[in-house]
Structures are given as C-alpha cells and as structure tokens.
C-alpha cells in the first residue's frame, strides 16, 4: 500500500481525486498541454519507479485526443518500470462499434483494447461498458464496475416505486437489476436500429399500461438520446406518470438535453464518468475504489 | 501487380490519387464520418481479401483523430487477411517528441510506431521524418522518402544560385544536399532551444556575409515558424538578398504565415504531405510512388 499511487490523467473528471481520498493513497497529476501545432504533450512530474500505479484516464469527448494521451501516458508510465499498472477507464469510448456490422468496418473497441494490452497494463477497471464480451480482446485482467446500485441509492424516496423501463432488449438486465434494488417491477421495449441510417424504430407488439405510475428509463449510455426519446414517447402514450432517465454515461450530444426536456423527462441521473452540467451527477469514486482495492488486494498489495 | 490496390485513408491530401495514377493501380477510398458523439467511423467499401494493400494515411492536424482513424483502418484492413499491408504516412505526427527530454515524458513517436508494428503493417513508407532513428521502434521495414530533389527541381531558374541556410545543426545534411543539387554553397546557424519554455535563441559566434545573394532556408518542417524566423532575421542582418524557405512539411500553426511574410520571406516552398493554402506546394506522389514500387518489387509483386 505504501508503494501505490493514484495517477490522474488528462481526463479524470474528479475520479482520480475521489480514489485517492477513498483509498487514502497519494495523488499525482500529470502535466499536460497542447503544443502550438495541435499535438498533445504529457509528463509525469514524479519518479514512480517500482510503484503500483493506478492510472485514471477516461475517454470522453474529445475521445481521440484522450485515447492518444492515454497511449502516451502509458509509454511514460512504463519508462519508470513500475511494479504494476492498473488502468481505470471510467468511460470507454468506441464501445458501441463492438462488431463488424458491415463488411469492411473495424471492431473499434477491440482494436483499442488490444493496443492497451500491448502497453504493459496488467488490469483494466471500467464502468458499465456496452458489452462485456469486447474485453476478450484485452490480454490482461478486466474488472467491470456496476454503477446501478450507486445510482439507485441516489434516488429520492418518493421515486422508489416507479416502473423501470428498458428502452431496448440490450438494457433488460440493467432494468431487472434496478427493479430488484427498488423492489418494483420492470418492462422493456423492442426496438430496431437501421445499421446504415442509424434510425431507431419500435417493433410492433410493444404493449404496457403504466397506469399513471412514474417511469424510470434505464440505459448504459445516453449518446444523442434517440433511444431514450423513443422510450419516453412510448411511456407518455401509455399512461405514464413522471418520467426520469438513468444512465451511467451521459454523452448527450447534439442538443440532447433540450430534446429530453421537451419530451417531458423530469430528471436525468448519471455519473461522473463524463463531465455533464445538465444532469444529476452521482460520484462513482467509492464503487470504483472498491474495485481497485480488490485488484490491489488480489496482488497482495493491501 | 494485378493484386495490388491503393487505399485512400481519411487524410491523404491527394497522395493516394497520385500514387494510383503513377503506379497505375486501382484506387479505393474509405468511407468515413464523425458520429454525433464525436467518434470516428471508417469503412472499407470493397472486399480486399488476399490483396497487397497500400494504405495512405497522413497524420496532419487534427493529428489525434487521424492517428486513431489509422488504427481503426488497420483493424478493418486486417479483417480481409490481405497478402501484405504497406502503410504510407506522408506526414508523421509526434516525430519531434523522439526522446525523453525530461524524466516522465513519453517518447511519443516510438509509442505510435510500436503500435503500428503490432497491427500487421509489413512496410512503412514516410517522407522526411524528424529523426530516422525513431523507426527502430517499428518492427517492420521502413522506407524514408527524400523530398529534397523534388522540391529543388521546382525552383525557378533564377533562384538556382542562392546560399542555402540550415536554420540549425539538425538541418545541415539537408542544406548540404540541396546545395549540391543547386550547385551552390551552404551555411548553418547554431541555435539552442530551451526544453522547458520552448524558446529558441542563437548561440554566439554565428557569422556569415551573404553579400546580397539570395538565401534559401531549408528545414524538414515549419511548425510555428520560430526557427525559420530566427534564420530569416540572421540572413537579413547579414546582407541577404531575397529570402525563401523550403520544408517538406508545412504545419504553419498560430499565424505563422503572417509572421513569415512580415519577416520579408518571399516564397514558401513545401509539399502535399499536409494541406496548405499559403505556400507553393510540390506534389510528392511520384517520388513516394517510386518508393512504394521498390517495396512491391522487393516482394516480387511487380
């Protein structure tokens, strides 16, 4: 434990600080700047030879800049020949390009995880990735943090008997988990996404009467909000009370916030894996910290 | 040869087209777009199974986006199990962070070359990188294209008896080569760069009387132009005639063009490794094409 440090990368959004406090470990912040030609410069201002290094680097927008900075940081970290490198990526970009939907596409997330695997990372800790299967491309160990209990805990008492709504088939497990925590029930929508146009439509046969009860739509990520808007529309049409949404990762690009508000969504609940000024933000440092602790413990470090 | 294609990446600036024409090989352009959340999407629109693929991807600004797109393209290319992948990077970013100038820094260029080496690239062709030694980090073969003869050939007759001026010690070989081609003489400046502040100053003892002759300052890259401005000032002070500059890679960031013009620099001569609307641009497709041809020939493909 004496030998372990938290290293805050160029995109931590407070999580490195939170880990440092929760785990009572020293915090080191990387120096960084953009050079006049647009290249990123990073530097670790302290010699970390022989340490256990917990590097925190999220990959929220601008994603490509933060990913390149991650690669540069890993090169700098390795120059110290550390005892071990544990990488915390609170939000992992490119997670939705997780298969070749059309011939000639990359599997972007696997390409990135494979690169990270070549750069000396022993363990990777991430929050609610789109599909856990993608991590088979990473050659080290992976620990996936479940944000749902922490997010659920943040709900006010009055909100604790809603219907949980999964906006598509992929969110069913999340919805079930949240419903169990809230001691309530859940349902889900069948939707289809056109892989060429990206358009989302509801399949026929979606039926549910919300009977005036409040609804919480739960997903892993809100990107442009199309999926959530579809679900909100469905809930509104089928006699829902107040509608809220909950997702760990809030990208909310392209006027998403305005659209969600306009659709009558009352609360947006998310986490600090991505900076966001519109939503109710829940700090995940503690649950991530518990994960990092378990990795260090398994190594006999704690 | 029947089996070889030129694949134009997301940053080719006409060089893929030029190679296709010069080598009489089919040209395929990747599809690409920016998704609403800011992630890059790329796709190769044609099945390239078993082909020799010459992928052209420069890494001019925005550098990080173009580098990530390169990694995604290589993943997509590999999905076809091609016969061989030859990668042409006309301008290679991060080439000046080629050593740990201060403890805790990455060797950025080596980190990037090492990644490319893990992604199935057999041969890498690039133009005038900052230091050839960096390519030891790349596990495949490297061919470095010398742009000086092509750039020199573009000079007008009247400009062909100038003094060639290397703006620092690192540019001496370039200056000598250009002077030999132009059948003229050269000189150089001793400068120092402060590694913390980035400031460039002349060492004492620089002396030369240009005697009214025209001067061509030659370098590998013009980034912000600080080095070139220093050299132009020195030339002006020491009785130079018309002053021109020549460099393969024209980044010219941060109002550089205005500064060069204000310093009385008449012509800026560069190449199409980077888009630039201010300079006299020389197409390097032919000399790069000759390099690619030699790589294919060595493989017995031509």
Q: Which residue of B has its CA nearest to A46?
A: B104
The answer to whether A223 and A247 have CB atoms below 8 angstroms apart is no
Res B29: pLDDT: 98
Q: Which domains does chain A have, with CATH numbers?
A: 4-147+284-298 (3.40.50.2020), 149-282 (3.40.50.2020)
B-chain CB neighbours of A75 within 8 Å are 106-108, 110-111
pLDDT at residue A219 is higher than 80 = yes
Minimal C-alpha gap between B183 and chain A (Å): 34
- The DSSP H or E segment spanning A243 is strand A243-250
* B263 vs B302: CA distance, rounded Å: 49
Cβ(B125)–Cβ(B295) under 8 Å? yes
Measure the CA–CA gap between B232 and B230, rounded to whole angstroms: 6
Q: Which residues of A touch B119 (CB under 8 A)?
A: 111
Distances (CA, A) of A148 to A232, B14, B20: 20, 49, 53
pLDDT band at A158 (very low <50, low <70, confident <90, very high): low
First to last CA, chain A: 5
Prediction ipTM score:
0.94
Cβ contact (<8 Å) for B74 and A44?
no
How does residue A273 score in pLDDT terms, banded at 50, 70 and 90? Answer: very high
**Is the bond preceding residue B41 a cis peptide, omega within 30 degrees?**
no
Please tell me which of the candidates A38, A97, A102 has its beta carbon nearest to residue B62: A38
Sequence-ordered alpha helix ranges (H) in chain B: 15-23, 63-78, 108-118, 148-153, 172-181, 226-237, 256-262, 285-298
Q: What local confidence, expressed as pLDDT, does residue A208 receive? A: 86
> So what's the pLDDT on residue B235?
95
Q: How many CB atoms lie within 10 A of CB B61?
A: 17
* Torsion (CA) B13, B18, B19, B20 in degrees, nearest 10: 110
| Of the partner residues B36, B65, B254, the one whose CB lies closest to the CB of residue A223 | B36
Q: Which residues contact A300 (CB under 8 A, 6 or more apart)?
A: none
Using alpha carbons, list the distances in angstroms from residue B295 to A164, B10, B88: 60, 23, 11
Q: Which of B55, B97, B106 to mutate to test the interface with A (most CBs of A within 10 A)?
A: B106
Summary mean pLDDT of chain A: 94
Taking the alpha carbons at both ends of chain B, their separation in whole angstroms is 5
Task: Look at residue A269 and tell me whether its pLDDT is greater than 80.
Answer: yes
Phi, psi of B131 (to 5 degrees): -140, 125
Q: Tell me how close the Cα of A39 comes to any Cα of chain B, in angstroms.
A: 7
Asked if B111 lies within 8 A of A61 by C-beta distance, the reply is no
User: Could you read off the pLDDT of A5-41 as tens digits, one per residue?
Assistant: 999 999 999 999 999 999 999 999 999 999 999 999 9
Reference A29, options A3, A68, A55; nearest CA is A55
Contacts with B68 from chain A: Cβ below 8 Å: 63-64, 67-68
pTM of the model: 0.95
**β-strands A84-89, A52-56 pairing:** parallel
Residue A239: is its pLDDT beyond 70?
yes
The pLDDT of residue A2 is 75
Q: Closest approach of chain A CAs to the CA of B61, in angstroms?
A: 7
Percent of chain A as helix, strand, coil, to the nearest 5: 30, 25, 40
Paired strand residues for B246 = B218, B269
Beta strands in A167-214 (DSSP E): 186-188, 191-193, 200-202
Backbone dihedral region for residue B24 (phi beyond 0: left; psi -120 to 50: alpha; all else: beta): left
Lowest mean pLDDT among A206-215, A254-263, B16-25, B170-179: A206-215
Give me A51's structure tokens.
């340490």
Q: How many helices (H) and strands (E) does chain B have?
A: 8, 16
Note the pLDDT of residue A206.
Answer: 72
Known catalytic membership, residue A191: yes
Nearest of B181, B219, B174, B249 to residue B15 by alpha carbon: B249
| pLDDT on residue B99 | 96
Whether residue A72 and residue B108 make contact (CB cut-off 8 A), yes or no, is yes
Question: What pLDDT does A156 receive?
Answer: 75
Q: How far does the CA of residue A226 sit from the closest CA of chain B (Å)?
A: 11
Rounded-to-integer distance, Cα B194 and Cα B203, Å: 12
Ranges A140-144, A206-210, B238-242: which has the least confidence: A206-210
pLDDT score recorded for residue A260? 97
* CA gap B245, B233 in Å, rounded: 13
Pairwise CA distance, residues A27 & B145, whole Å: 45
What is residue A1's predicted lDDT score, i.e. its pLDDT?
A: 63
Q: In chain B, what residues touch A106 (CB-CB under 8 Å)? A: 42, 72-73, 75-76, 79
Which pLDDT belongs to residue A226?
A: 94
Interchain pair B115, A71: CB under 8 A:
yes
3-state secondary structure of B242: coil
Q: Which of A106, A251, A254 sits opposite B72 (nearest CB)?
A: A106
Q: Which residues does chain A have within 8 Å of residue B73's beta carbon, measured at their own beta carbons?
A: 106
> pLDDT (tens digit, 0 to 9) for every residue of chain B, 302 residues total?
679 999 999 999 999 999 999 999 999 999 999 999 999 999 999 999 999 999 999 999 999 999 999 999 999 999 999 999 999 999 999 999 999 999 999 999 999 999 999 999 999 999 999 888 999 999 999 999 999 999 999 987 666 589 999 999 889 999 999 999 999 999 999 877 676 666 666 666 677 899 999 999 999 999 999 999 999 999 999 999 999 999 999 999 999 999 999 999 989 999 999 999 999 999 999 999 999 999 999 988 76
Count contacts between A and B (CB, < 8 Å).
Answer: 133
Give the one of B62, B104, B118 whose C-beta lies nearest to A45's C-beta: B104
Residues 6+ apart with CB under 8 A from A207: A238
Judged by CB atoms closer than 8 Å, whether chains meet at B100 and A111 is answered as no
Facing B37 at nearest CB: one of A40, A61, A79 = A61
Q: Closest CB to B75: pick one of A36, A93, A111.
A: A111
* pLDDT given at position A299: 86
Per-residue DSSP letters for B88-102? Answer: EESS-TTTT--S-SS
The residue among B67, B90, B92 whose CA lies nearest residue B19 is B90
> Of A191, A203, A204, A299, which one is the catalytic site residue?
A191
**Is A108–B39 a contact, with Cβ atoms under 8 angstroms apart?**
yes
The crossing angle, in degrees rounded to 10, of helices B285-298 and B15-23 is: 60
* pLDDT computed for residue A88 by the predictor: 98
- Cβ-defined contacts of A91-94 (< 8 Å, 24+): A91/A58, A91/A59, A91/A60, A91/A127, A91/A249, A91/A273, A91/A274, A92/A59, A92/A126, A92/A129, A93/A59, A93/A60, A93/A63, A93/A66, A93/A67, A93/B39, A94/A59, A94/A63, A94/B39
Taking CB atoms and an 8 Å cutoff, what residues of chain B touch A107? 75, 79
Q: Predicted confidence band at A283 (pLDDT cuts at 50, 70, 90)?
A: very high
Q: What is the pLDDT of residue B208?
A: 86
Q: Which residues pair with A84 in a beta bridge?
A: A52
Beta-carbon separation of B73 and A106 below 8 A? yes
**Cα–Cα distance list, A156 to A162, A185, A193, A267, A272 (Å):** 11, 17, 33, 11, 19
Which chain A residue is nearest to residue B223, measuring alpha carbons?
A37
Chain B residue numbers touching A61 (CB-CB < 8 A): 37-38
The span from the CA of B57 to the CA of B42, in Å, is: 13
User: Of residues B29, B46, B78, B191, which has the active-site annotation?
Assistant: B191
Please name the member of A40, A104, A253 whose beta carbon is closest to the beta carbon of B38: A253
Cα gap A290→A282, rounded to integer Å: 16
Tell me if B104 and A38 make a contact (CB, 8 A cut-off).
no
Which residues of B are less than 8 Å from A63 in CB distance?
37-39, 68
Which residues on chain A are in Cβ contact (under 8 Å) with B36?
Answer: 223-224, 253-254
């Amino acid at each position: 434990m004496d030998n372990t440090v938290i290293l805050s990368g160029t995109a931590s959004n407070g999580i490195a600080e939170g880990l440092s406090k929760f785990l009572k470990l020293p915090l080191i912040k990387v120096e960084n700047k953009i050079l006049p030609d647009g290249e990123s410069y990073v530097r670790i201002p302290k010699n970390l030879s022989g340490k256990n290094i917990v590097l925190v680097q999220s990959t929220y927008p601008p994603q490509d800049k933060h990913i390149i900075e991650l690669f540069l940081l890993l090169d700098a970290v390795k120059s110290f020949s550390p005892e071990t490198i544990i990488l915390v990526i609170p939000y992992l970009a490119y997670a939705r390009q997780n298969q070749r939907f059309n011939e000639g596409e990359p599997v972007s997330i696997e390409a990135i995880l494979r690169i990270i695997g070549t750069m000396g990372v022993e363990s990777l800790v991430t929050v609610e990735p789109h599909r856990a299967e993608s991590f088979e491309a990473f050659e080290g160990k992976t620990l996936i943090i479940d944000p749902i209990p922490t997010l659920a805990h943040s709900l006010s008492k009055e909100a604790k008997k809603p219907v949980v709504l999964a906006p598509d088939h992929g969110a069913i497990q999340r919805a079930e988990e949240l419903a169990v925590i809230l001691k309530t029930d859940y349902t889900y929508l069948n939707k289809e996404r056109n892989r060429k146009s990206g358009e989302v439509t509801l399949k026929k046969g979606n039926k549910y009467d919300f009977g005036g009860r409040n609804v919480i739509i739960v997903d892993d990520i809100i990107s442009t909000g199309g999926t959530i808007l579809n679900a909100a529309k469905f809930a509104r049409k089928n006699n829902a009370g107040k509608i809220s949404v909950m997702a760990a990762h809030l990208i909310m690009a392209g006027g998403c916030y305005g659209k969600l508000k306009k659709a009558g969504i009352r609360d947006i609940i998310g986490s600090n894996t991505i900076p966001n000024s519109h939503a109710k933000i829940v700090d995940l440092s503690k649950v991530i910290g518990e994960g990092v602790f378990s990795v260090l413990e398994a190594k006999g470090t704690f």
